[in-house]
Structure 1
Amino acid sequence: MSNLKGILFIILFHDISALPGNSFLKIREIVESQREEDAVFEQKKLYGSSQIVEEVLLPQPIDHFDALNSEMYNQKVYINTENWIKPSGPIFLFIGGEGALSNRSAYSGHHVEMAKRYGAMVVAAEHRFYGSSINDNGLHLDQLEHLSSQQGLADLTRVHKYITDRYELTSNKWISFGGSYPGALSAWFRLKYPHLVYGAVASSAPVQAQTNFEGYNEVVAQSLTDSTVGGSQQCIKQIVEAFQRIDSMIQANQTVQLEKDFLSCGPLSEKNDQMVFVNNLAGIFAGVVQYNNEVPGLNIQHLCKQMTKSDDSYKNLQMVYKMAMKLLNQSCVDNSYSNFLSQFNNQTVDQAASGVGIRQWTWQTCSQFGYYQTCDEGTSCPFSRLLTLESNLVICRDIYKISPSSVPNFVEFTNEYYGANRPKGTRVLFVNGSIDPWHFLSVLKSDVSLNETAVFINGTAHCADMASDRSTDPQSLKDARLVGPFLNCLFIIFILYVYFCRLQTHKTSLLLFITFLQI
């Protein structure tokens, strides 16, 4: 275990994965726990024991676009006015993604640091149908039809109106800032409601929907070879060899040996259980790459050190998996497909639940985004070839009654509606890290004519730029956060300039900043 463990502004922030295995979700739970711990420490450092966040339940229409539907739900909104300079200070609105939102979103993170510096109000709004922002019948299929990015953006307009009316705002600037799926929402909010939001920052934002997301595991493979984060060619070679052997054993019906070697809670004789098994194995690597260094020691360097410990790649993978199980507090791994499906079938709302809303998010992937991470022949994916598109799409059919053949049409509509990775919004900043698999679906090239600026940071993972400074940050991110001494302009210039300075060197920041402010 020691090798693995030693192994807004409008802010919309959460981390996404399509149909993740249990191992990936458990790694995410550890990351969320670490974030919560860091946030509590940050709150005490900034505010002591004071209760600075107010919670409001804002009534929202279930369907913004149907005048005959009068059904409502309550959206949870947090408000922090501790640092707000009345009446003209800016508004930083933090909006959650595909999971429950805690009050730490209103008192922790880089947006809160800037709110303190520039006299901003922080408002955090939970995404519809996640956390406690859902009715008791909200997981029924007829209700999930109202869970979409379009409805979520419409919710933002009413949050904007509520804050504007309550605090009698006039010309206050609103800037959207999001990470992951909410990063896409941030860009889209500026695109669709430019009269409400002055500018947008979209971190790790997969604005291009894609049914067969082969690029995810290709970036995972590239990241595991990146020497700047501790990867190597030998590491990826060992991973590929280990998974090839597992696929061979499955084809040879040697599943009893796999059950023993990888401590499966149940048999692996059925094809669907085998799919869950290899998904869980791959999830260890995907989770470590996506959240590289979010938890001290949980990183590519330690993972690759273990995978290259001997010449026996299969034995190395066994050791990695067993150490991961110990870290995740598991005595065996549940690879049952029926148990896997149960989380999607559960229609009981728990408004006190934390973490990802699996049934809701998977509905969104089936009805809008795809994002299915596959391991097809002819790609550089290092994992099992059992991770197919078909094994993902069957969930859409069996759980939501969506035909697999319809999913690409829904994905195509999403791209037509928002513009895919060419959204053509103005004053939008796209920030991505080189080892983050989600950068594959984001905007990576600047468009000066539209004031769409892309920043690419080497050696950084998913949404790394959004967090407060940490001692474990890679040097490239530390260098990117350098701020020049000439920040002496109006508050809105301050905000935009500081963000650019976090991402680029002093000279480059100024050039990007001037470009970004052009209308």
Structure 2
Amino acid sequence: MSFLKYFIFVFTVNFMLKDISSISGHSFWKIKELVENRREKSAIHDYRRLYGSGQFIEEVLLTQPLDHFDAYSSRTYKQKIYINAKNWNKPNGPIFLYIGGEVALSNRSAYSGHHVQMAKLFGAMVVAAEHRFYGDSINDDGLHLDQLQHLSSQQGLADLTKVHNYITTRYELNDNKWICFGGSYPGALSAWFRLKFPHLVFGAVASSAPVQAQTDFQGYNEVVAQSLADPAVGGSKQCTAQVAEAFQKIDRMVSGQQTKGLAKDFLSCGSLSEPNDQKVFVNILAAIFMGIVQFNNEFPFLNIKNLCNIMRESGDSYSNLQKINQMMMKLTNQSCVDNRYSSYLSYLRNQTVDRRALKLSIRQWIWQTCTQFGYYMTCKDGTSCPFSRLMTLESHLALCKEVYKISENMVPKFVQFTNDYYGANHPKGTRIIFVNGSIDPWHFLSVLKSDQVSGEVAVFINGTAHCADMATQKSTDPQSLKEARLVIQKEIASWLKET
């Protein structure tokens, strides 16, 4: 697709999108917001087509302890859960638990997706639980540092035990089998819930689950490079080389103090003379590629094929990179790109809970990366990363210190604890299905080989991106994805037949 056609498309879809230009930080989160909006619209369309105007999703606000591990603490918060009992074969049908993560949870999680399709097939009740401190499941002071200490995967899993107890008591369940589902961070939670609470959960599906915490996540951009070079999804080695060439020129311009030219060429809101602003700039620019690769084809025309088509247009790689930056700005309604480090710090330090703007919650998620997971996508010499060498681990760790008062040397210790606690990418769990796509960068930290002894099943799907298996099945899905969903369905069927 030509750059001109891209702009025509952008102008036609802009009227459908809410203004997300206020989302601070890099463009990965902007792409994620676009994808979330798209998923929501698609789910609503499917709901109306399948169910008409009937209402059958119940919303419950469940009172939870703020700290499950301190018996003397009396503080609580309200956790939002959704219940869909429309297709439940009561009283003995299974319970499918959908686990929320680092975004607000929509009620679509209880009526849309492959897990809901399987719930209809197996007569299951669907229960969807929002993660603490995200969406509506947060107290008004929840963004204060003294409150964020209660935001962790361990506390989140403890919340799920209370959800289990609530549903069991309310519906007078007996030996009903529970299967949990999650994608990305919730995919890891799904595996960990089965791992840590096997008496509550009979089996788990962990899609795109980065169960191995890693401070310096170099592998992310190595997979991005491989995906941009994959002809099966419209990439090529030439495309990866052109991306690398463009970013190499940027690095040369920075080192040569040609930052005025960079600011002009890439429509920066302010100067790029400060080193921290330069680091924000290259991260925002690289995140366009990272986000589009991760969510390949989730939003119309935002895919590897069209990215590479632009990079192959006439002109040099640097000017084509400018076109991609302008495309992203149009798509997200930006007149200029705010590359100021001070703006990003201000956004992350904001402790005011705005319930109108909680769909994406960056302050909370960065806290979790600093205290548990790392997951910092870096770009170093000696790797296949095609982006700027200014994308360093040190710049990520500096945020932990400046925003959350967590010293740089503590983050690797927290990451090591997470791996020791859960088992990293060798958890040795039973009845866990790990599902990953070949072009999803997060598969680098997941479980990729089945373990017949422990009962872990690995499903690897060629040509698919992040959490692709979790979407509602469509006739246009690639054959590899259809076959993968069939494997998942058959495995769950076998679990439900066990006595």
Identity %: 69
User: Do the aligned partners of 1:5 and 1:297 also contact (CA within 8 Å) in 2?
Assistant: no
User: Do the aligned partners of 2:24 and 2:347 also contact (CA within 8 Å) in 1?
Assistant: no
Per the alignment, do residues 386 and 138 of structure 1 end up closer, same or farther by CA in structure 2, a change over 3 Å counting? Answer: same
Who is 2:220 aligned against?
Answer: 216
SS in 1 for 2:473: coil
SS in 1 for 2:104: coil
> In structure 2, what is the Cα distance between the partners aligned to 1:323 and 1:475?
31
Who is 1:199 aligned against?
Answer: 203
Give the deviation of 1:161 after TM superposition.
Answer: 0.2
> 1:51-130, aligned counterparts within 5 Å?
51-130=55-134
Who is 2:461 aligned against?
Answer: 457
Q: TM-score with structure 2 length normalisation?
A: 0.93
Who is 1:343 aligned against?
Answer: 347
Segments of 5+ residues of structure 1 without an aligned counterpart are: 8-18, 484-494, 501-512
Who is 2:482 aligned against?
Answer: 478
> In structure 2, what is the Cα distance between the partners aligned to 1:322 and 1:475?
35
> In structure 2, what is the Cα distance between the partners aligned to 1:427 and 1:38?
31
- Identify the match of residue 357 of structure 2 among 349, 353, 358: 353
Who is 2:420 aligned against?
Answer: 416
Give the deviation of 1:498 after TM superposition.
Answer: 6.6
With 181-190 and 104-113 compared, the bigger mean Cα shift is at: 104-113
Who is 1:509 aligned against?
Answer: none
**Could you give the per-residue CA deviations for residues 212-244 of structure 1, whole angstroms, max 9, x where no partner exists?**
000000000000000000000110110000000
SS in 2 for 1:449: coil
> In structure 2, what is the Cα distance between the partners aligned to 1:496 and 1:237?
40
> 1:177-188, aligned counterparts within 5 Å?
177-188=181-192
Who is 1:469 aligned against?
Answer: 473
Per the alignment, do residues 371 and 518 of structure 1 end up closer, same or farther by CA in structure 2, a change over 3 Å counting? Answer: farther
Who is 1:489 aligned against?
Answer: none
Who is 1:46 aligned against?
Answer: 50
SS in 2 for 1:241: helix
SS in 1 for 2:453: helix
Residues 1:276 and 2:263 aligned together: no
Segments of 5+ residues of structure 2 without an aligned counterpart are: 11-22
User: Do the aligned partners of 1:182 and 1:205 also contact (CA within 8 Å) in 2?
Assistant: yes
Who is 1:11 aligned against?
Answer: none
Give the deviation of 1:326 after TM superposition.
Answer: 1.4
> In structure 1, what is the Cα distance between the partners aligned to 2:214 and 2:188?
13
Give the deviation of 1:476 after TM superposition.
Answer: 2.2
User: Do the aligned partners of 1:217 and 1:375 also contact (CA within 8 Å) in 2?
Assistant: yes
Give the deviation of 1:47 after TM superposition.
Answer: 1.3
Q: TM-score with structure 1 length normalisation?
A: 0.90
- Identify the match of residue 383 of structure 2 among 358, 379, 382: 379
Residues 1:159 and 2:163 aligned together: yes
Per the alignment, do residues 460 and 5 of structure 1 end up closer, same or farther by CA in structure 2, a change over 3 Å counting? Answer: farther
With 115-124 and 193-202 compared, the bigger mean Cα shift is at: 115-124
> In structure 1, what is the Cα distance between the partners aligned to 2:127 and 2:134?
17
User: Do the aligned partners of 2:96 and 2:124 also contact (CA within 8 Å) in 1?
Assistant: yes
Who is 1:497 aligned against?
Answer: 490
> In structure 2, what is the Cα distance between the partners aligned to 1:170 and 1:342?
50
User: Do the aligned partners of 2:99 and 2:190 also contact (CA within 8 Å) in 1?
Assistant: no
Who is 2:39 aligned against?
Answer: 35
Give the deviation of 1:3 after TM superposition.
Answer: 3.4
Who is 2:5 aligned against?
Answer: 2
SS in 2 for 1:450: coil
- Identify the match of residue 309 of structure 1 among 309, 313, 318: 313
> In structure 2, what is the Cα distance between the partners aligned to 1:322 and 1:311?
16
Residues 1:290 and 2:294 aligned together: yes
Q: CA RMSD in A?
A: 2.0
Partner AA of 1:307 in structure 2: M
> In structure 1, what is the Cα distance between the partners aligned to 2:479 and 2:97?
29
Give the deviation of 1:308 after TM superposition.
Answer: 1.0
Partner AA of 1:423 in structure 2: P
> In structure 1, what is the Cα distance between the partners aligned to 2:364 and 2:392?
22
Who is 2:245 aligned against?
Answer: 241
Who is 1:175 aligned against?
Answer: 179
> In structure 2, what is the Cα distance between the partners aligned to 1:323 and 1:350?
29
Q: How many residues align?
A: 484
Residues 1:139 and 2:149 aligned together: no
Give the deviation of 1:314 after TM superposition.
Answer: 0.7
